[in-house]
Chains A and B, each alone.
Chain A
Amino acid sequence: MRPDGPQPVERQLPTDEAHELMALVRDLARREVRPRAAEEEDAGVFPRGVFTTLGTSGLLGLPYPQEYGGGDQPYEVYLQVLEELAAARLTVAMGLSVHTLSCFGLAEYGTKEQREQYLPAMLGGQLLGAYCLSEPNAGSDAASLRTRATRDGATWTLNGGKAWITHGGIADFYTVLARSGAEGPRGITAFLVPGDAAGLSAAPPERKMGLKGSPTAQIHLDGVTVDDGRRIGEEGQGFGIALAALDSGRLGIAACAVGVAQAALDEALAFLAGRRQFGRPLSDFQGLRFMLADMATAIEAGRALYLTAARLRDAGRPFSKEAAMAKLLCTDNAMKVTIDAVQLLGGYGYTADFPAERYLREVKVLQILEGTNQIQRMIIGRHLLGPETRA
């Protein structure tokens, strides 16, 4: 029988190499990521060094082809790596998810020449990416974005502003969606913009409720010129690329949410086993046990759903509906689990000396980003009923 208390998650993985990868990730999480998490999140320090370590270990390109320096791993494996890292520190897992998202357009829609030229460096571990879709006035209604791309021969000039950009100001490259044509979703084109491009600048990072180690900033594009060789996909194909990227990105967010929820449950388990009241360990009280049972069940259900979506994706089947469901369920569950973890720790849970309150603050944003959970429900509704008929 397994001993009581928090245990490593029993993972279903398809290959021996995936199990060894997981052992490496757990080692990295335990030794490099977790120890500094609380202190650096408190101080708002971005762990660039951790990303270098992840990069040299080959973890910044896991779901992409080996021939371009990736790890050729299915989403089923990549997402569980994200989950383990999120349990150690969400800033790191979110950063990896955003980096993976920012490589998606070029990897899936780039020409062979573009992939050969840019992907090895993007996946190789030394560079960090950012993804620029949202704008101050184009959030959930992303297709209304106004950043302008104008073409002059083989050169594009970008002008506008992007909002809520993870790694804004520190990224080495930005995947930018801009309007190259008419209003609406069909007038949008994607570009790969280098981080040091003239005219690209970042506003001071937002002051956020959580994820303080991960910089989120507005990006200004002031006459940024890029070669047509940095256009990803066809002109006007950008919004489709953005939506496809988000389907995969949502799975990343789902996995991140499950990871933080698992960390919160583990924290609560350890606390309840160690604290005595009324002459008994807290873990003896049935009312509290029931709370823990519900938390563990919510986590396992979320994990099962994101893995179901991932396995559909890995099999080359449609997974957009399941990805929206996984993002919705995993992040809503994580919110509930982290709130309950704070409750179980009582007064201690409300202090910054225990990580429970940080988990709570951190997962809140996962219900908002990469499509709010209201947008997820809208997507699921469209899969069930087709497009809304009202204009």
Chain B
Amino acid sequence: MSLRIVVCVKYVPDATGDRHFAEDLTTDRDAVDGLLSELDEYAVEQALQISEASDDAEITVVTVGPEEANKDGLRKALSMGADKGVHVVDDALHGSDVMGTSLVLAKAVEHVGYDLVVCGMASTDGTMGVLPALLAERLGVPQVTLLSEVAVADGQVTGRRDGDTATERLAASLPAVVSVTDQSGEARYPSFKGIMAAKKKPVEELQLSDLGIEADLVGLGGAWTAVDSADARPARTAGTIVKDEGEGGKQLAAFLAERKFI
């Protein structure tokens, strides 16, 4: 039977753009171009490698996000080589936090059917990094997170997690959720042929009602967290210039010590 791999990806505002909050203190998505979170490209890459090493595998990319998340997010993953997409889009999702998003993703992943769920290590906008764990809990399956190496064989997923003090080798029986780090291997570029092929790949569009999710569990209203206020980062002030007139080294050391860097 074919190995069913689901990759969860996020459509995020371009981190190099000038990002702002909207009036309701959610991300202002209109002000800046969006794209597939670069950390999720690693997840797509690992899924493709697992698929290429397997006799028979199918990769579905799932995203929860606004209308543009299909064209500018999912399509990138499909042009890299994933087989099909699922896009959960619903006005009621606006303002969802990670609790709401993980609920929707869990239902969508169950809807697709899965043996292995692959996530990136974090999103490049929220950068919480907790979604894979929440997702595994909601699905009731093992989680093996923050892997820098991952493989599937004999109904098991195995991998390596590089920590600050130790390197762990981990394994879990399938079905399972894994997340992979930016050390897991550079993501491939889509080919032009892949871009054209992606146009013909199916993307299923789902609303909350299709997944049996009550709207009040998600969105701003259902969020467990709230942003009360936000201020723009103050403009950078001029730095301190230390002129070396014999005492430059000492002055630098004093500057760093004052700020507790040394």
Contacts and interface: CB of A to CB of B under 8 A. Distances in A.
B189 A24 contact: yes
Contacts of B79: 20
B30 to A, nearest CB: 15
A17 B191 contact: no
A3 B17 CA distance: 11
B191 A21 contact: no
Interface string A6-41: 000000000001001100100110000000000000
A27 B189 contact: yes
Contacts of A117: none
B193 interface: yes
Interface residues of A, number: 14
B261 interface: no
Interface string B194-230: 1110010000000000000000000000000000000
B189 A71 contact: no
Contacts of B194: 58
B189 A17 contact: no
A24 B190 contact: yes
A57 interface: yes
Nearest to A32: B189
Interface residues of B, number: 12
Interface string A57-91: 11100100000000100000000000000000000
Interface in B135-178: none
A59 B192 CA distance: 7
Contact of B192 (A3, A27, A53, A57): A57
Interface in B47-92: 75, 79
Contacts of A24: 189-190, 192, 195
Contacts of A21: 192, 195
A248 B13 CA distance: 40
Contacts of B189: 24, 27-28, 53, 56-57
B25 to A, nearest CB: 24
Contacts of A62: 192
Q: Report, nearest first, the 4 A-B pairs whose CB atoms are least far apart.
A: A58-B192, A58-B191, A20-B195, A57-B191
Interface of A: 3, 17, 20-21, 24, 27-28, 53, 56-59, 62, 71
Interface of B: 18, 75, 79, 189-196, 199
